[in-house]
Chain A
Amino acid sequence: MLAPLSWLKEYIDVTLESNKLGDRLTEVGLGTEKITKDKDDIIFELEITPNRPDLLSIIGVAREVAAMEGKKIKYPKAIVDIKNVKPKKVLPLKIQTDHTINPRFTGMIIDGIKVKESPQWLAERLIKIGQRPINNIVDITNYVMFELGNPLHAFDYDKIEGHVLKVHQTKGGEEFKSVDGVSYHLPKNAVVISDSQNLIDLCGIKGGENSGTFEETKTIFIRVPVEVPNLIRRSSQALGLRSEASAIFERGVNAGGTIDALQRCVDLVLQIAGGEIASQLYDIKKEEFEPWKLSVQTNRLGKILGIEIPKQKAVSILESLNLKPIARKDEIECTIPTYRNDLKIEEDLIEEIARLYGYNKFPKIIPGGEIPTKTIPYFKDYRLEEKVKNLLKASGFSEIYSYSLVSEKALLALDINPEKTLRVDNPVSIEFEYLRPTLKIGLRNGLLQNKPNFEEINLFELGKVYLGEDLDKAKEAYFLSGISNSKSFVEIKGVLENLLEELGVKQDPSKNIEATEEGVLFEVNLSEVLEKLSPRKKYLSIPKYPPIIEDLSIEINPKIKYGAIVNVIAAQSKLVNKVELLDEYRNKKTFRITYLSRERNLTNEDISPIREKIIKAMKANFKATQI
Chain B
Amino acid sequence: MKVKNDASSLIIAAEDEKELNEIKLDFLGRNGKLTQLLKRMKDLPEERKPEIGRLANEIISTVEDLLATRGEELRGEKKEKIKRAVEDITIPGVKPSLGHLHPMSQVLFDVIDVFKGLGFQAADGPEIETDRYNFEILNFPKDHPARDTQQTLFLDTRKSKATSGETILRTHTSTMQGRIMEKIKPPFRVIVPGKVFRYEQTDASHGFEFWQFEGYAVDKNITFTNLMGTLDYFVRKFFGEETKIKFTSHNFPFTEPSLEGYVSCVVCKGKGCSFCKQSGWVEVLGGGMIHPNVLRNVGIDPAEWQGFAFGTGLSRLVILKYQMDDLRLLTNPDLRILEQF
Residues of A within 8 A of B155 (CB): 422-425, 471
Answer whether residue A76 sits at the interface, using C-beta atoms and an 8 A cutoff.
Answer: no
Answer whether residue B33 sits at the interface, using C-beta atoms and an 8 A cutoff.
Answer: no
A450–B333 contact, CB under 8 A? Answer: yes
User: A414-450 CB contact bits vs B (8 Å, 1 = yes)?
Assistant: 0000000011111110001001000000100110011
Binds A, one of B4-12, B13-21, B67-75, B244-252: B244-252
Contact of A347 with B292 at beta-carbon distance under 8 Å, contacts A365-B229, A376-B180, A396-B97 already known: yes
A386–B109 contact, CB under 8 A? Answer: yes
Answer whether residue B125 sits at the interface, using C-beta atoms and an 8 A cutoff.
Answer: yes
Closest to B141 in A: A230
Closest to A359 in B: B247
CA gap between A403 and B169 in the complex, in Å:
13
CA gap between A402 and B156 in the complex, in Å:
22
For chain A residues 350-389, which have a beta carbon within 8 Å of chain B?
Answer: 350-351, 354-355, 359-360, 362-367, 369-372, 374-382, 386, 389
Answer whether residue A287 sits at the interface, using C-beta atoms and an 8 A cutoff.
Answer: no
A378–B257 contact, CB under 8 A? Answer: no
A398–B338 contact, CB under 8 A? Answer: yes
Contact of A371 with B109 at beta-carbon distance under 8 Å, contacts A52-B251, A422-B155, A450-B334 already known: no
A367–B226 contact, CB under 8 A? Answer: yes
CA gap between A435 and B228 in the complex, in Å:
38
Closest to B232 in A: A364
Answer whether residue B162 sits at the interface, using C-beta atoms and an 8 A cutoff.
Answer: yes
Answer whether residue A472 sits at the interface, using C-beta atoms and an 8 A cutoff.
Answer: yes
CA gap between A51 and B291 in the complex, in Å:
14
Closest to A348 in B: B256
Selected from B102, B123, B128, B202, the residue in CB contact (under 8 A) with A399 is B102
Answer whether residue A326 sits at the interface, using C-beta atoms and an 8 A cutoff.
Answer: no
- Size range of the interface on B? 35 or more
- Size range of the interface on A? 35 or more
Residues of A within 8 A of B253 (CB): 51
Residues of B within 8 A of A250 (CB): 145
CB distance from B7 to the nearest CB of A (A): 20
A304–B145 contact, CB under 8 A? Answer: no
A351–B333 contact, CB under 8 A? Answer: no
B108–A476 contact, CB under 8 A? Answer: no
For chain A residues 48-70, which have a beta carbon within 8 Å of chain B?
Answer: 49-52
User: B285-307 CB contact bits vs A (8 Å, 1 = yes)?
Assistant: 00001011000000000000010
Residues of A within 8 A of B188 (CB): 372, 374, 376
B149–A380 contact, CB under 8 A? Answer: no
Answer whether residue B326 sits at the interface, using C-beta atoms and an 8 A cutoff.
Answer: no
CA gap between A442 and B180 in the complex, in Å:
32
CB distance from A233 to the nearest CB of B (A): 5
B161–A476 contact, CB under 8 A? Answer: no
Contact of A376 with B169 at beta-carbon distance under 8 Å, contacts A304-B306, A396-B98 already known: no
A residues with a Cβ closer than 8 A to B are 26-29, 31, 49-52, 229-230, 233-234, 247, 250-251, 303-307, 342, 345, 347-348, 350-351, 354-355, 359-360, 362-367, 369-372, 374-382, 386, 389-390, 392-405, 422-428, 432, 435, 442, 445-446, 449-450, 453-454, 456-460, 464, 466, 469-472, 474, 476
The 10 lowest CB-CB distance pairs between A and B, nearest first, are: A306-B223, A446-B333, A371-B119, A351-B257, A306-B225, A29-B249, A49-B251, A230-B143, A355-B249, A396-B97
Given contacts A386-B109, A466-B128, 13 further A-B contacts (CB under 8 A): A229-B143, A303-B223, A303-B306, A355-B249, A365-B223, A372-B187, A378-B123, A380-B122, A425-B164, A426-B154, A435-B128, A458-B97, A474-B128
